[in-house]
Amino acid sequence: MGRLLILSSDTGEGHNSAAAAIQDAARAAGLDASIRKPLEESTAVNRLLGNVYNVLLRRRPQYMGWYFRLIERARPNERDIFYSKVSSYIGRFIESERPDIVLSVHPMLNHFIQRYIKEEHLPIPCYTFLTDPFPPFWRGWASPFVDRYFVPTDEALQALTAAGVPAWRIERVRMPVREGFRPATVNEIQEVRKELDLDQASTILINGGARGGGPLYRIYETIRANAPNSNVMVVCGRNEKLRRHIERLQDSRTRVFGYLRDLHRYVVASDLVVTKPGALSTYEALACRVPVLLAGICGLMPQESGFFRAVRRYDFGFAAATFEELARTIRSGPGEWRRKRESIVHFYQHNSGHDLIERIHLADARA
């Protein structure tokens, strides 16, 4: 294997985070790895579908269940009429990249490109890594054109087999996270806290993701009211309106940020990370051995609901479906939060993606 082409999309930043981790691991292994986003690069219709998803995610997350059902019913990624409109683009796309292996990390990118490769009899193995660890998840993950799947949990493996994927085509690997997300030393934590002018009180990080969507301000208000002596860091992503609103409060124990490229430094300086139940944002916190509070307030996307339930089953953090549950967890305090650290080690330890690259090597050799 020489050239690895990773397919991702901006519909959900977690896919890009996983892609970046895999790319870094591949390059460390001496491979030529690139990330492309054909959904955004191809047709206006595809871009429209992606933009609708992102607008709903930021402004109306409670409607995501409707969007999920619409896509599951329409299945645009399987329709011949759409395939005919993009097949010539796919041909140019494959020719420009000339990959030895294609790896998808997105549920909408497992059909058309792989179908073209199979129909044109190109000697390019097609693999998929599931970034959704717990079902229910998008039907688009299952494709007759994918040669091999890599999944992070037994539950994901079972769900794929139930969708018709033969078990022998599926392998378990640990979720790859970006290199910076790993346990920090006491000195590293103190350095970040000193840089941010934080005292030794407990510190809570509210991670609003790349877009800062959902009821983020009310989550902040609830945490601030129930942990008045704690430091609170708020990551607003690209939601500049929310960032300015919180800044105007001039709360001495609050630090507010936009989109962060070094998010790992703020995660390791925290005693608790509050985030939506996105797989990568959760796994990145767990890789740092920081407990999570998954906020499923104002509704969950279907692919997040399994993770939301798993936090209680595996005991690596907390789950809040209401603001009352959020307030109760915050009031429980740092002692209760720290109790989850032992469970985190049993559930997940830092993995940068090297074992996935090794499995891809083995699969390529067998092919």
Q: What is the largest CA-CA distance in the chain?
A: 64
Contact partners, residue 138, CB within 8 Å, separation at least 6 = 68, 71, 72, 107, 108, 132, 303
* Chain length of the chain: 367
Verify that 22 and 68 share a domain, yes or no.
Answer: yes
| Distance (Å, whole) CA 108 – CA 131 | 12
Do both 10 and 125 map to the same domain? yes
pLDDT, one tens digit per residue, over 250-261 is 999 999 999 999
Taking only the tens place, the pLDDT of each residue in 88-143 is 999 999 999 999 999 999 998 999 999 999 999 999 999 999 999 999 888 889 99
Identify whether residues 81 and 212 lie together within a single domain.
Answer: no
Residue 146 lies in a domain: yes
Helix (H) or strand (E) holding 127: strand 126-129
356 and 342 housed in the same domain: no
**Residue 50, pLDDT score:** 63
286 and 252 in a common domain: yes
Average pLDDT score over residue span 177-186: 92
DSSP states of 328-346: HHHHHHHHHHHTTHHHHHH
pLDDT at 74: 66
Task: Please report, to the nearest 10 degrees, the dihedral formed by the alpha carbons of residues 313, 317, 321, 322 taken in order.
Answer: 140
Residues 218 and 303 in one domain: yes
Q: Are residues 222 and 303 in the same domain?
A: yes
Residue 153, in any domain of the structure: yes
Higher pLDDT, 165 or 42: 165
Residue 6 bridge partners (DSSP): 35, 103
Give the pairing of strands 32-36 and 101-104: unpaired
pLDDT of residue 304: 85
Whether residues 333 and 272 fall in one domain? yes
CA separation for the pair 225, 270 (Å, rounded): 18
For residue 37, the model assigns a pLDDT of 93
The band of 366, judged by pLDDT with boundaries at 50, 70 and 90, is: low
Q: Is the pLDDT of residue 44 over 90?
A: no
Place of tokens 């691991």: 25
If one counts every other C-beta atom within 10 angstroms of the C-beta of residue 335, the result is 8
Is position 55 within any domain?
yes
* Distance in Å from the first CA to the final CA of the chain: 11
* Interval 198-236: pLDDT, tens: 999 999 999 998 878 789 999 999 999 999 999 999 999
Q: Give me the pLDDT at residue 63, please.
A: 63
Together in a domain, 190 and 308: yes
> Does the residue 236 lie in any domain?
yes
CATH number for the domain that contains residue 258: 3.40.50.2000
Domain range for 290: 186-347
Domain count, the chain: 2
**266 occurs within a structural domain:** yes
Task: Count H helices and E strands in the chain, helices first.
Answer: 16, 12
Is 181 contained in some domain?
A: no
Residues 320 and 360 in one domain: no
Q: Which two tokens stand for residue 236?
A: 């607003």
Q: Are residues 24 and 161 in the same domain?
A: yes
